[in-house]
Every structure is written in C-alpha cells, then in structure tokens.
C-alpha cells in the first residue's frame, strides 16, 4: 500500500480510503481515486485480507458446519452457500460434525481461534447457551437449519418434518393400505430424528395402529450402512409384509439394498419410505418414494438470512423462514 501511495503521489491512508468500497466516493477526490487505481493496476497490488481482518475485526469468511460432506443432501445447500458467498466476496470454510456433539464442540473451538463473520449450522446439537456463548465470544452471526433453538439473534430456516413424517405415515396407510408400519430412526441425540419420530408416533395414534416394537429401531445413524444393518435386525425378529419409514434417504437406500439381498421384493414384501429426496433416490432400483425437502431453497434462505445480518441490513430479533416439503411417489412404496 505504501508503494501504491508513492506511485500515486498520495499518502497510504488515502490509498486505503480510495480502495475501501463501503466508503463510496465523497471521502476521496475522483481525480485522486483514479491515480490510486492506476497505481494499483501498475503495481498489480492486492490488499492483504489478513491485515484487513486484524484491523477491521472482519474476516470475510463464513463457516458451514454440516454432518458429512458425502451425504448428498447437503450438496445443493453447500453449493448455494458457496456461490452466494463468492458473489459477496466471502470464502467458505466447511467442517463435518458427523452428527457428533463432540465434533461440534471441536468446531466451536476452531471458530474461537479463527473468527468468522458468519456460521451456518445444519444440523446442530448445541444448546441455546452454547450458541449464545459462541456468539458473544466470536461476534459471528449464526443461522441454522432446524427449529430447536430459541436465541434472540439466531435466524433459522425450518422444515416441518414432524408434520411431513406424519403425512407420510398417513399416506402409507391410506393410499397404500399398510397396517404394519415400522420406523428406522436414530438415537435421540441426533436432532432431526426425534421430530420425525414424533410425527410417526402421532400418525400411528391417529390411525389407531399399534406400534410394533420389532418394527421400530433407533440404531440408525443416517448412514447407508446403518440402513442395511437395522433392516437386517428387524428381519431377524419379524417377517414381512410391512412398510417402514426410514429417517433419511441414505438409510432408506441401505434398507432397500438389504431387503433385496435377503430375497424380499419391494414394495410388495417391504415398502420403504425415505426422507430428503437426495439425488440417489431417483437412481436406485426400485426408485425411492420419499419426502422431498428443497435443499437449494434451504441454502438460499440460509445464506440470505446470514448476509442480511453480516451486512447489517437486519439487526432486529430472530427471524424464521419455513420451507415446504412434499411426498415424491416412486416405486419403493
């Protein structure tokens, strides 16, 4: 910057002013600005973001915490975040939580050392208090996907997956005639799991259907492998025909593969309903009937909410944005 200043025949602070985009015009003479720009070009000068960050306490960096980069559900979300962030001149840090509370805490530690301007978390196990601490300690804006948070400054995007699951189960009964409907879930500590479980339970109650213990499991972990394993466990204690709702598509696809491997026909012997509508859902055979989320829209909303706050367009209380879902009927149920 000093070099630029020398070439342009001005002081370093004038260069700084000329280059700082937010203080548009007014602060520096048009003629001076031009000289500075010429010098910048001539010297091929680039501002150093590290120095700028140190001084301005702003990093032009956002972090995205997802469960796992290899779960396709997150791709359209992350990709949208990356693209929008890029337009705003921001870079994107991506970390995986593997649905683990410990890794989320680890993530917070990282963020404490390398402050970012904004954080997007999907999903998250942190308590309101922990989120609050993260905010006050780092000064970052936070937006999340999910509705189990109530912090005055944390905007969230949410999908009513309790109701979505409810409707899915009702549909399995009313449209497909299933009486025996199972549930492949995850431990209570994995956020969207319990909500979907409640939707299932409510639906079964409203339908007057018994919940068969043999058809219910919380041993999944959102992975394809866990779907295979859990369906195997179920089949070792009870026999088809039945239908089963899997907490996400990866699990559903695993369950489907396992059922096929054990010689059962889908959906005749075992009907399977998933959740998410990831790309693979349409690719597998039989293709997966599932409750579709709209990840691109989710990504857009999250990023919008975040930049609204990062760029100070919004300072008021937490906002909520709901994104729709829909049942996509394919072959597995």
Partner DNA sequence: TTGTATGCGTTATCAT
Partner DNA sequence: ATGATAACGCATACAA
Binding residues vs DNA (CB under 7 A): 1-2, 9-14, 16-17, 19-20, 23, 26-29, 31-33, 45-48, 50-52, 54-57
Beta bridge partners of 271: 243
Using CB under 8 A as the binding rule, whether residue 146 contacts a second copy is answered as: no
Residues 6+ apart with CB under 8 A from 178: 172, 242, 243, 271
- Closest approach of Cβ 57 to DNA, in Å? 7
- Closest approach of Cβ 179 to a second copy, in Å? 29
- Closest approach of Cβ 270 to a second copy, in Å? 17
Residues 6+ apart with CB under 8 A from 162: 195, 196, 198, 199, 202
- Closest approach of Cβ 37 to DNA, in Å? 12
- Sheet containing strand 181-184, edge to edge, reads 216-217, 181-184, 242-246, 270-276, 289-292, 326-328
Residues 7-46 that bind a second copy (CB under 8 A): 46
Using CB under 8 A as the binding rule, whether residue 54 contacts a second copy is answered as: yes
User: Distances from the Cα of 136 to the Cαs of 101, 132, 153, 261, 327, in angstroms?
Assistant: 20, 6, 11, 52, 40
Using DSSP's 3-state secondary structure scheme, residue 190 falls into coil
Give the nearer residue to DNA in terms of CB position, either 139 or 187. Answer: 139
Q: Evaluate whether 187 touches 198 at the Cβ level (below 8 Å).
A: no
User: In degrees rounded to 5, what are phi and psi of residue 155?
Assistant: -70, 150
- Closest approach of Cβ 323 to DNA, in Å? 35
Q: Choose the binding region for a second copy from 20-28, 237-245, 277-285, 303-311 (rule: CB under 8 A).
A: 277-285
User: In degrees rounded to 5, what are phi and psi of residue 239?
Assistant: -115, 150
The binder of 192, among DNA, a second copy, none, by C-beta within 5 to 8 A per type, is none
Q: Which position among 7, 95, 135, 321 is part of the footprint of a second copy (CB under 8 A)?
A: 95
Listed in sequence order, the DSSP H helices in 96-160 are 101-113, 128-138
Torsion sign, CA atoms 219, 222, 227, 231 = positive
The binder of 28, among DNA, a second copy, none, by C-beta within 5 to 8 A per type, is DNA
- Closest approach of Cβ 250 to a second copy, in Å? 10
- Closest approach of Cβ 312 to DNA, in Å? 12
CB atoms inside a 10 Å sphere around CB 99: 23
Give the nearer residue to a second copy in terms of CB position, either 105 or 279. Answer: 279
Give the nearer residue to a second copy in terms of CB position, either 27 or 51. Answer: 51
Q: What distance in Å separates the CA atoms of residue 104 and residue 52, rounded to the nearest whole number?
A: 28
User: Distances from the Cα of 18 to the Cαs of 9, 44, 95, in angstroms?
Assistant: 13, 16, 36
Give the nearer residue to DNA in terms of CB position, either 9 or 187. Answer: 9
Using CB under 8 A as the binding rule, whether residue 240 contacts a second copy is answered as: no
Q: Choose the binding region for a second copy from 12-20, 186-194, 227-235, 283-291 (rule: CB under 8 A).
A: 283-291
List residues binding a second copy (CB under 8 A).
Answer: 46-51, 53-54, 59-61, 68-70, 72, 75-76, 78-79, 82, 86, 91-96, 110, 112-115, 253, 257, 279-280, 283-285
């Amino acid at each position: 910057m000093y070099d630029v200043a020398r070439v342009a025949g001005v002081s370093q602070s004038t260069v700084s002013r000329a280059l700082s985009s937010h203080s548009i015009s007014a602060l520096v003479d048009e003629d001076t600005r031009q000289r500075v720009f010429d010098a910048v070009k001539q010297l091929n000068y680039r501002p150093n973001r590290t120095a700028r960050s140190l001084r301005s306490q702003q990093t032009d960096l956002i972090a995205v915490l997802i469960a796992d980069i290899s779960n396709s559900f997150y791709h359209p979300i992350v990709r949208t975040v990356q693209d929008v962030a890029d337009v705003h001149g921001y870079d994107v840090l991506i970390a995986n939580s593997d649905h683990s509370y410990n890794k989320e805490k680890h993530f917070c530690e990282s963020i404490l050392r390398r402050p970012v301007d904004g954080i997007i978390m999907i999903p998250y196990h942190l308590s309101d208090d922990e989120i609050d601490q993260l905010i006050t300690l780092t000064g970052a804006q936070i937006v999340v996907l999910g509705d189990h948070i109530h912090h005055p400054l944390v905007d969230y995007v949410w999908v009513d997956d309790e109701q979505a699951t409810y409707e899915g189960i009702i549909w399995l009964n009313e449209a497909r005639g299933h009486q025996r409907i199972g549930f492949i879930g995850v431990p209570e500590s994995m956020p969207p799991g319990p909500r979907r479980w409640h939707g299932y339970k409510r639906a079964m109650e409203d339908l007057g259907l018994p919940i068969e213990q043999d058809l219910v499991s919380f041993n999944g972990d959102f992975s394809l492998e866990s779907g295979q394993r859990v369906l195997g466990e179920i089949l070792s204690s009870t026999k088809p025909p039945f239908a089963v709702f899997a907490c996400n598509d990866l699990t559903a696809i695993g369950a489907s593969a396992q059922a096929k491997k054990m010689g059962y026909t889908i959906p005749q012997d075992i009907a399977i309903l998933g959740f998410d509508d990831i790309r693979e859902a349409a690719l597998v055979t039989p293709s997966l009937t599932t409750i579709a989320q709209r990840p691109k829209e989710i990504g857009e909303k999250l990023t919008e909410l975040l930049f609204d706050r990062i760029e100070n367009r919004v300072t008021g209380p937490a906002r909520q944005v709901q994104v729709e879902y829909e049942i996509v009927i394919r072959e597995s149920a």
